[in-house]
Structure 1
Amino acid sequence: MQSDRHARSGTEAAGGDPTTGRLLDGRYRIGPRIARGGMASVYEATDIRLDRTVAVKIMHPGMGDDEEFAARFVREARAAARLSHPHVVAVYDQGEEDGTVYLAMELIPGHTLRDVIRKEAPMTPSRALALMEPVLSALAAAHRAGLIHRDVKPENVLIADDGRVKVADFGLAKAVSADTQHTATGGVLIGTVSYLAPELVVDGRADARADVYAAGVVLYELLTGSKPHAGDSPIQVAYKHVHEDVPPPSAVAPGIPAYVDALVARATARDRSLRPADAAVLLHQVHRVGQALADGVQDDPELTADLAPMLLHPDTGELVAVDDEVYDGSHDGEVTSPIGILPGRTVERMPAAPARTPAPVPSRPGPPPARPPARRRRWRGPVTLLLLLALVLGVAVGAWWFGWARYTSTPAVLDLTRTAAEKKLDAAGLQMELGGPDHKRLRIDGKVQDMVGQFSETVPVGRVADSDPDPGARILDGGTVTVVLSLGPERYKVPSVKGLTEDQAQDAITGKHLDFGESIGRWSDSIPAGTVLGSDPRAGTVLRPGTAVNIFISKGPKPVEVRDWTGRDADKAQAWFEDRGLVVDRGTEEYDDNVAEGHVISQTPASGTLHRGDTVKLVVSKGPELVEVPGGIIASGVDAARAKLEALGFRVDVQNSDHYLGLGYVYEMDPHSGDMVPRGSTITLFQI
C-alpha cells in the first residue's frame, strides 16, 4: 500500500485515530492512517518481529461481525497472496484479534496515478502507454491466476519514489467461479462507477474483460485528462457506460493517432466479446501501438483496422471502426452495432448515391410533347431500375471488399511447433511474430537462450499454446498473427538461503515466485543467532509457483542451566559439565579442613545459564593440610612442651599418666613425634 508523506496532515499523524499506537496481534505497532475506503482503513505500521515498516489494512469496526464482509476480506488476503509479481503490492500476513480483521502488506512510499493525472494529463500517448504497461502486466498475472481485480482505477495504481509502479487493493478480486458472482439485483455491485464495465452495471457478472474495460478508461483519462462519462449522480454515469461509447481521445486531445483511438475503442467496447480476452492480450496490443509511436508513425491504416474492426455508417456511407463485420443501421445519423449506437472514426469513404435533379416545372402550358407519354415512361423506368441496380451492386461490392474480401481466416496453429506454425501461416499469406506474457531460459538445440511465451501445464515446451487473433478469426490479408509458444509448466527452484538474514531469505524466496511459509528456530553452536541455516524444501528443489517454503533460523548455542556441585565429587562434576559442552577448569586445588580431598570447595559460576563452549571453574579440595609432630617433647617439662607445640599451631591437652608422681615432666604423647597430622590437631601430653 501507499504512504504519501507529503499529503498526511499533522493531526492525523498525531494520533486522533484511536487505532494509532495500538500493538495489533502482538506484532504490528500501528502508526498514522494513510488511506480510508468503504470497507477498511490503511495504516502505516511497524512489524516489530521483523523490524520493518508495513501497511496494515484494518476492516472498519463492526464489519468483522458481518460474516459475508469478513469472508470477503479474508479472501482478499488469500487471493492477493497468490500473486507474486513485481508490479503487484505484496501481501505478507492476515489475521484477526478481538474481532479486528487485518492484512499486513507491502508499504509503497510515493504517490498514486491519480496524482500523475492531476499534474501531467493530458499527456503524450507514449507517456500514457509507458504508465499503463506495468499495470497491464500486473493484471495479466492476476488473470493467469484466475483472479479479477474488479476495481481498476488510478487510485489503486501506486508509484513509488524510485519510479516502481504497483497495482494495489486486490481486495475486490475474486476467483473466477460461479459461486462468487454477484448480480445487480440479487447481490453486491463492487467497483468504482467511473470505471465499471457495462456488464457489471447490467447484471454484476464479470470476467477478465471487465478489468480490460477499466484499464481502457484509465488510458483514456491519461490521454485526455478527463473521464469519458460524467453525470450528476453515479446512476447517470453507470447509465452512460451501458448506453454510450467511450469517445475517441483525439476528440478531446487533437493530434492523437488513429490507431491509439482504435486501441481505446477496442479496450472499452460495450460488447465484451469485442474486447481483448484479458490483460495479456491488451498488453500485446499496447506493445504494438507503442512500437508504432516509437517509430514516429502518425498514421497506420493497417494497424488501425487491426485494432478497430469495421462498421458502415448509415447516413454517410463511410466505414467506421467498430467491429469485424459491416452492420447496417438507421439511428439519427449515428452508427448502430450489436451494442447500441456508436460514434466512429472515418477510415474509408463508400461511394454515395448520385443526386437526381428534379425536372423543371413549367409556368404555363407548353406545346404537346414530341413523343407519347406512355412511351416516355417505358424508357425512364428501365433506366432508373438499371441505375438503382448499379448503385446497389456498387454498395454491395464495396461492402463485400472492405468488410469481407480483403480479410482471411486465421488458420489454427495450436499445438504445432514454431516451424510448422510459421509454414502454415506463410501458406495462408500471413506473417508470424512471437509474443507472450512470460519468458524463460531454455536449452534449445544445445544452446541456452531466453524464450518468450506463456507457461502451460498441458502444452509441450516449444509448441503453440495460444494465438492472436484466435483460430478462425478474420484478419487482413498479409496481417500478422502473434503466436504464443508454450514454456512448459511454470516451475521455480528453491533458492539457497543459507547464511542470509530472515528478511533476505524471505525476499529471495518470494523473488522466485514462491511463498514464504514460516521461520523455524534451531540451536546452533557454530552459526550466529538470526542467521538462516537452510530451507524446507531444500535449495534446488523444483516447485510450482506459490508453494510455501519454510526456513530454519539459528537461535545460537543451546543454553545450559548450571548445577551447583560444591562439596561433591569433582570428577563427577567435571563429567557432568563436559557432557553438556562446557569447558571445566579445575587447575586450582586448596587444602580445606572441612571439605574432603577430591571434592569441590567452590564453583564459578555456581548457578545461572551458560552456552556450549563456556567455561566453569572448580576449586578442588586437597583435604586438610598435614604437619609433622615435632620431637624432643618426651622428658621435657610440661610447660615447655606446651609452649613449643602451641607455637606450631597445635592444641595441647595435658593429662596424668598411669605412673604419675607429680614431677611435671612429659612421660608420653599422642600422637607421637614424627607423625603427620592436620594442622591445628590436638596433641595429648601425659605427665609423670
Structure 2
Amino acid sequence: MTAPPTDPLIGHTLDERYAIRSRIARGGMATVYLATDLRLERRVAVKVMHDHLAEDENFTRRFEQEARSAARLSHPNLVNVFDQGHDAGRTYLVMEYLPSITLRDLLKQQQRLTTEQTLEISEAVLSGLAAAHRADIVHRDLKPENVMLADDGRIKLGDFGLARAVSANTTTGQALLGTIAYLSPELVTRGVADARSDIYAFGIMFYEMLTGTQPFTGEQPMQIAYQHAHSEVPMPSLKTADATPEFDEFVRWTTQREPDARPRDAEEALDFVSAMRTGQSVPAGATRVLDFGGGSPTPSTSVLSDVQRDALAGGTTVLPDSPFDTDSHVEAPPEEPVTAIDRAAAGVQRRARRGRVLALLLVLLVVLAGGIGWWFGQGPGSQVMVPDVAGTEMTAAQAAIEQQHLLVDVTECASLTVPAGKAASTDPKSGTRLDRGTTVSLCQSTGPALKPVPTIVGLSLDDAKSEIERAGFTFGEVTDTRFDDAGADTVLAALTPEGDELGAQYPEQSSINLVLSAGPIPNVVGVSADEATAALSDAGLTVDPDLGSEAYSSDASKGTVLSLSTSTDPVRPGDAVGLQVSLGPELFEIPDVSGLGLQEAMDTLTAAGFSPSTLVPEALRGLAKATGTDPAAGKQVEAGTEIRIKSTISL
C-alpha cells in the first residue's frame, strides 16, 4: 500500500480538465502545481490560491488581477497565461509550464554573474517589462525569484500577482506590496508606483547580479526601507572590478531616488543595455547622472617615427646625408682604354666577373632549393596527417597526436558510440594533412547528450511512442498496467529501465519504459452479485469470496452490491477483489404489550426501536390498557416502523 499524498489537490482534476500531478512551489498567496491539460494534452502550471485567503475579497481581487494583467500581454520574455477559473471554492490560474530555475537559484549557485550573463538576462527581462509598460501595466514585484531561466535557454518574467494597470500613478493603498529589498523610494514614502518604480527594482536587481549582494541590508525591514528612501545606491565597481564605468552609470541612473531622474520606462533602459551588450555607443538622448567624459583614449606611445610625425604635421624635415646627394664628392670613373689591346683585356675581365657572379647565383639557387625541399619534406615545414584516435584512451590519443608534432587542445563533446571519458573525435578530422605545430582539438566523450524530456503522461500508448522517438529517445516496454480513472492505454508514468521517474533531461537514445492505465474499475454498486462478478471478470479481475462480506442496508435490496473491496493498491488486472452484498433492511420482532397500561405499552415499543401510535387522547391514556398491536406482536418489521396500539378505557 502506498502512502496517500500529503497535498489533497494532488491527483485531483480542476473543472474536469486540469489533472494535478505534483507540487512545484508554495508562495505567500498561492501554491503552484504541475498539471496536465487533458483537453489539449500538454503540461501546464496551475496556481491555486490558498484556502485561508479565498474568503478575503482583497486577496481574491488581486489574484484575479494577475490573470487579467498577464492575459493582456504576449511576449517571448513573459510567462504566458492560458486560463483562470473557480472549482469547488478554489480560485486558480493556468500558466505556461517552464522546466527552469529562477535567477535567485542561479545567484545562489554562482554567487554573482559575469558581465555577459548580466547583460543577456537584463536585455531579456527589460524586453518583457517593456511590453508590459507599453500596455500600461506595472509589475510592482520585480525580483530574482520572478525571473525564470528555462532549460532550453529562454528567459521569462512572470508572477504578475502585484501587477496593476496604470493611468498616471498607482497607489498601494494602506499596505506596501512587493519585496522590501527592491521597493523604490516613492513606494516606501508615498505608496505610489508607476513604470519608473519597476526600473528602480530592476536597477537593484542589476546591482545584485553584478556584485552578488543587495545594496541595502539590515536586521529589520524598516531599516532597509529607510536606506531606500534616504541613501544613494553605491556603484557596483566598488564591489567588483568587472563593473565598467558604463555599468556604474546604468545602476546610478536606474536607482535615482527621484523618479523623474530615472528612465521613463523599460524601453529607454533597454536601449542602454542593448548598446552596452553590442559594444555600441550608449544612446545620446538618455539621461545621465554621471559624467565619464567622451572620446576614445589616445595611445600613450606612437608607432610613427619622429620623421613621419613631423611630415604628417606639416613640418620641414632635414634628411641625413645620402650617398646620392648631389653635393657629395664622387670620384670620376676611369677613362676607357684607348688601344685595341686595352679594350680586349677589359672585355676579358668583364666576362670573367660575369661568370663568377653566375656561378655564385647557381650555387645559391641549388642551396635554396635543397633547403626548401628539406623544410617542406622532412623539416619543420613538412605536413603531417592527423591520426584516427576515436575510441582510444585519452592519454594514448594525446600521445599519438603529439607524436605527429601537432599540439593538442582537449575539449568535451557528447557521443552516442564512444563511452564517456574516451577520445571521441578530432578537429580537423582524422586523415587531414596539417603543418607541424598546428593545434588539433581532441574531443573527450561525455557520453550521450542530455535532451529535454517531452510530456508523455496522459498520452495514448501510440502517441507516447511517437513522442519518445521524436524527442530522440527509444521506447522500451510497458512495465506495468494498473486500473486508473484515465482511459485504457493512457500513459500514467514514464520510467527509466531501473524504474526511476524521468527528470527534466535524459540521455539521448536511452530507453523509456511506460506504465499504462487499464481503465477505471467497473462500477458494480447497486447491481446484483452475479452481474457484478461477470463485469469484474470481463475487466480482468477475480472475485474472491474470502474478501467478500454481507451487511444490512435500508437503501439497497437484498442481493445487490453495496461496495467493492480491494486487496492491493494499485489494482492491476488479475488481482482479487471482494464484494459486500446487501442483506436488505434488518428486521426486529414486535413485543407483546397486551394487558399493559397504554403509556407503558408505548414506552415498551419505543425502547424496542419502533414508533408507537394510538387514537386515545393523552388526557385519557392513564385509564386505557393495551389489548394488542397492528401489526401483531411477534411479527418482524424494520426499526422505526409505526406500531398502532389497540386499547380499551376503563371508567
TM-score interval, normalised by the smaller of the two chains: 0.3 to 0.5
TM-score, normalised with respect to structure 1? 0.41
TM-score, normalised with respect to structure 2? 0.43
